């Protein structure tokens, strides 16, 4: 079970992991374009997929 994450906070991903989610998609195509923010979110205990912009 997974979901999209549109809020740029590591705690959101941690809450999803604790709630039993298996994965999450970070939408960096339209939101969260700061690589540092994405890097911080990736340290949470959940599998993350990043939807990147075309020009990255």
The model's pLDDT over 12-44, given as tens digits with 9 standing for 90+, comes to: 888 998 999 988 888 777 776 778 888 888 887
Which domain, by its residues, includes 26? 2-51
Residue 44 belongs to a domain: yes
At residue 8, what are phi and psi to the nearest 5 degrees? -85, 60
Count the Cβ atoms, other than its own, within 10 Å of residue 31: 15
Residue 29 belongs to a domain: yes
User: What pLDDT is stored for residue 19 in this prediction?
Assistant: 93
Residue 46 belongs to a domain: yes
User: What pLDDT is stored for residue 56 in this prediction?
Assistant: 53
Look at the chain and report how many structural domains it folds into.
1
First and final C-alpha spacing in the chain = 28
Of 20 and 48, the structure prediction assigns the larger pLDDT to 20
User: What pLDDT is stored for residue 45 in this prediction?
Assistant: 66
50 pLDDT exceeds 70? yes
């Amino acid at each position: 079970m997974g979901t999209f994450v549109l809020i740029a906070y590591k705690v959101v991903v941690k809450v999803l992991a604790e709630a039993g989610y298996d994965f999450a998609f970070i939408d960096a195509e339209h939101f969260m374009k700061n690589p540092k923010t994405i890097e911080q979110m990736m340290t949470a205990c959940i599998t993350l997929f990043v939807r990147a912009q075309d020009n990255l």
